[in-house]
With several copies, the nearest count.
Chain A
């Protein structure tokens, strides 16, 4: 439906518009947001994201198509932001529309799990202390 890697702040509305249809009674949206305590539990000022878009975008599309196939009729949109993000800003937005809510929740969660495992995007944590560190995602199931 809509797959993008962008340097601009994320907006959920256009994603929801991209997935909605008369057949869909449920829309589930996910926003990943920069939080104060990063994965490492050291106070974070911001994050920076870097992507290999030529590889990341096709993978995002593949994940959306899989989610659609696995969770019948789900319509999926995924946008990831790159560049420097401050506390509270959204790094990723996923929207899923489906006839029923169970399917929409499952497809949205699936898309996020797969995105973290398979999409060629990297995150650097900038700590309040001034230090910085590349932070890989935890292995699936951890």
Chain B
């Protein structure tokens, strides 16, 4: 299945782009996509604890199952206001 991955703020800068599409096996989780990303960009390891995950616009835990066409966002702590 294919999942759209969005990266914001510091995460976007480390990854070098705001958006990418990833292929992963059925039964893949949000945490799995994140782990793959950390493997590719080890600098993300530093901010792993504070990163929040959202699936289709709603916060989820690492264990959240993904489905084809999902939008998965990796977000640092918010700074609006």
Count chain B CB atoms within 10 A of each CB in A50, A54, A116, A120 and give the residue with the most: A120
Alpha-carbon distance between A116 and B58 when the two chains are bound, in angstroms:
17
Shortest beta-carbon distance from B6 to chain A in Å: 7
Which B residue sits closest to A113, measured CB to CB? B81
Given A55-B73, A120-B54, check contact A137 B78 (CB 8 Å).
yes
Which B residue sits closest to A125, measured CB to CB? B79
**Interface pair A134/B57, CB less than 8 Å apart:** no
Given A52-B8, A120-B8, check contact A137 B57 (CB 8 Å).
no
Chain B at the A interface: SS class: mixed
Which A residue sits closest to B80, measured CB to CB? A121
Other-chain residue from B73, B78, B81 in contact with A91 (beta carbon distance below 8 A): B81
**Interface pair A137/B73, CB less than 8 Å apart:** no
Which B residue sits closest to A48, measured CB to CB? B9
Count B interface residues, CB 8 Å. Answer: 18
Number of A-B contacts (CB under 8 A): 73
**Interface pair A134/B9, CB less than 8 Å apart:** yes
**Interface pair A122/B81, CB less than 8 Å apart:** no
Alpha-carbon distance between A80 and B58 when the two chains are bound, in angstroms:
20
**Interface pair A136/B54, CB less than 8 Å apart:** no
The residues of B that contact A121 with a CB separation of less than 8 Å are 78-81
Other-chain residue from A54, A122, A134 in contact with B80 (beta carbon distance below 8 A): A122
Other-chain residue from B54, B57, B78 in contact with A116 (beta carbon distance below 8 A): B78
The residues of B that contact A122 with a CB separation of less than 8 Å are 8-10, 75-76, 78-80
Given A52-B73, A55-B57, check contact A134 B10 (CB 8 Å).
yes
Interface residues, chain B, CB within 8 Å of chain A? 6, 8-10, 12, 50, 54, 57-58, 71, 73, 75-81
Interface residues, chain A, CB within 8 Å of chain B? 32, 49-52, 54-56, 58, 80, 91-92, 112, 115-124, 134-137
